[in-house]
Structure 1
Amino acid sequence: MLARPSHDAEDREQVDRVRRALTTAAGGASVEVRAPASDEEYAAAVASAVEPVPRDVVVLGGDGSVHRLLQELHDQRLLPATVGLVPAGTGNDLARSAGIPLEPQDAAPVAATGRPAPRGLLLDDTGGVVVNAVHAGVGAEATASAGEVKGVLGRAAYAVGALRAGLTTRGWHLRVVVDGRTVADGSEPVLMVTLALGSSVGGGTRVAPTARPDDGLAEVVLARGSSAIARTSFARDLRKGRHTRRRDVTVTRGQEVLVEAVGPQDAFHVSVDGDVQPGRIRRRTWRVEPDGWRLRVPADPPATAPPSP
């Protein structure tokens, strides 16, 4: 089991509870806990999961923790792999979309013995992976703002970040191409581009309501309205799950997506699985790797929840 290093007694107690629950669920099988502090220790811990004998890996953490694991597995050429998840993050959108219980004690049996469900993986042209969703534009700016207060506000930080970004953003002139088809040519500002494998971000906001992580496609949500009124109403509709009905929002699906800045002032931040990457960029391409990994999920898949009215 991979967990965050912590000197907090409460965190250590949670790790121990989860370890005991995993051991019980796996019929007494041995569970080794790793909490690597450095990148080198993390790489060694991941490598040890396959040598000398392959073992399943369980992550105690959120979307960012799963992202880090899959990035390391990809870098070490160990994908596809089967991963169990005990959610302990801020948003836990990966667990939500898969129907994994959000309480660690309830999630442990699923992480140990659940059904291995194939899931797609987004790979970018720098070798980076995306597990759930990647944002360019206001979505990334909102995540950056949320990161400043996430430790204090928890899940509510996403709403604060979205509000702050929505009030200050003027949009970017971006060219967006999906499977060779131009969705935006850069002639008018774009407020947000989201590529999603899962349906929700930010702790349950259904940014891509019809996205499916197992169909080999990314759902691409593009919002164009960049005026003050449009930004405000888009944020309201996004919270209510009705933004995809707007005339200034385009939803499409594809296997390969290019996002490129048109003007000299249009370089953009990118937020990947809840973390903003350093610096602004001018161009990036993502492609879907179907069945890139397997996530243990409940034996009976939950019914898909309808979008909020």
Structure 2
Amino acid sequence: MSSAAGTVVLAVNPRAGRGRGLEHAERAAGVLRVWGLEPVVLAAADLGSLLELLRQHLREPTAPVRAVVAVGGDGVVQAVLGVLVGLGPRGADVPLGLVPCGTGNDLARHLGIPREDPEAAAGRILRRLDGPPPPRLDVGRVRTGDGRTVHFGTVLAAGFDAAVNERANRRPRLRGAARYLAAMLVELRRLKPLDYRLETVDAAGRTRTAHRPGLLLDLANTSSFGGGLRIAPDARADDGLLELVGVDPLGRARLLALLPALLAGRHTRLPCVRVERVRSVVLEAPGVVAYADGERAGPTPLRVDVLPGAVDVLA
């Protein structure tokens, strides 16, 4: 294996992997260095500062940038995707690599990239850099009512799952799974159907409006979110479409009974679940705050669509 010289920028969340983000970045950088590349590790105290460092490095590179590698979980991947897409043609020419070490790692899971093994992940990056052109990754795009744009690689959630995430973020004293378990118990007690208003454009370009109640509504670019919850087992990240997955109103007992099927990806056959492939959706649901790649996207109304083949991915 012999890679042509060039810089590989590793954008790292130092707190990812319970504080092991920098360690994973340095281990991956060691593999890249052995094969003649020049790894540059970028880290900062907060995500905003990290992204500004990355933008500056891509705008004014001291050497050709062969790839940008996101080191962390899906939140860091989402942020790096936003930078690459936001740079337009210049960003589209820079492929994305992943060294996963976060909580969910669902994009890496979908792409088959080794998790919690930075040397193996770096090896995948090297093989793609030396091999045929890498596959292109569709990227979801969310435009909010206040004019912001958020990009995502995996899933946008706008239902019970998003409410759990929103409540968990209000409990900073709890950590890890305990925070999400506590939030889920509260949201189960408050469980009630949500009122969705949708305007969808389907795979054939047909526009349809619908008004439906439900508990879950997710737009999936890849198969899983939340650390392996297979919400859209047949989703592909290279077809220019998103899978719209909706769950009809259910009581607490039926929702809990549905969870094993969700984990195994068997829920799509159930009569209470609807799945359709769409190009775009205008989503309105009073009181609902949506989450994309596990990060807060914002309250509805939202316009969600897909950017086909927006980024080369080294997977």
TM-score category of the 2 structures, normalised to the smaller one: 0.7 to 0.9
Matches of 1:277 and 1:198 in 2, distance apart?
Answer: 18
CA contact (8 A) 2:24 2:99 kept: no
Letter in 2 for 1:42: L
Question: How far off its partner does 1:159 sit?
Answer: 6.4
Structure 1: 5+ residue stretches without partners: 298-309
Give 1:82's aligned residue: 95
CA contact (8 A) 2:242 2:279 kept: yes
Question: How far off its partner does 1:91 sit?
Answer: 1.0
Please state whether the residue corresponding to 2:41 is helix, strand or coil: coil
Give 2:272's aligned residue: 248
Specify whether residues 236 and 9 from structure 1 end up closer, same or farther in structure 2 by C-alpha distance, changes over 3 A only: closer
Give 2:4's aligned residue: none
Match of 1:59 among 48, 51, 70: 70
Question: How far off its partner does 1:151 sit?
Answer: 7.3
Q: Structure 2 length as normaliser, TM-score? A: 0.81
Letter in 1 for 2:303: T
Give 1:307's aligned residue: none
Task: Work out whether 1:272 is the aligned partner of 2:292.
Answer: yes
Q: How does 1:1-309 map to 2 (within 5 A)?
A: 1-5=10-14, 11-24=21-34, 27-38=35-46, 39-40=48-49, 42-52=51-61, 53-55=63-65, 56-77=67-88, 78-80=90-92, 81-102=94-115, 103-114=117-128, 116-125=134-143, 126-147=148-169, 148=171, 152-153=175-176, 162=184, 164-179=186-201, 180-182=206-208, 184-186=210-212, 189-261=213-285, 266-277=286-297, 281-297=299-315
Give 1:305's aligned residue: none
Letter in 2 for 1:137: G
More strand per residue: 1 or 2? 2
Of 248-257 and 108-117, the range deviating more from structure 2: 108-117
CA contact (8 A) 1:84 1:112 kept: no
CA contact (8 A) 1:135 1:272 kept: yes
Matches of 2:69 and 2:81 in 1, distance apart?
Answer: 12
Specify whether residues 173 and 10 from structure 1 end up closer, same or farther in structure 2 by C-alpha distance, changes over 3 A only: closer
Specify whether residues 181 and 149 from structure 1 end up closer, same or farther in structure 2 by C-alpha distance, changes over 3 A only: farther
Please state whether the residue corresponding to 2:149 is helix, strand or coil: coil
Question: How far off its partner does 1:237 sit?
Answer: 2.5
Q: Percent identity?
A: 29
Matches of 2:101 and 2:173 in 1, distance apart?
Answer: 14
CA contact (8 A) 2:42 2:50 kept: no
Deviation sequence 1:69-118 (CA, Å, 0-9, x none): 11122333343231110001101000010010112221111133326220
Deviation sequence 1:102-141 (CA, Å, 0-9, x none): 1222111113332622010111223221111101011201
Matches of 1:130 and 1:42 in 2, distance apart?
Answer: 15
Specify whether residues 270 and 232 from structure 1 end up closer, same or farther in structure 2 by C-alpha distance, changes over 3 A only: same
Structure 2: 5+ residue stretches without partners: 1-9
Question: How far off its partner does 1:219 sit?
Answer: 0.6
Matches of 1:9 and 1:199 in 2, distance apart?
Answer: 27
Q: How many residues align?
A: 286
Specify whether residues 40 and 90 from structure 1 end up closer, same or farther in structure 2 by C-alpha distance, changes over 3 A only: closer
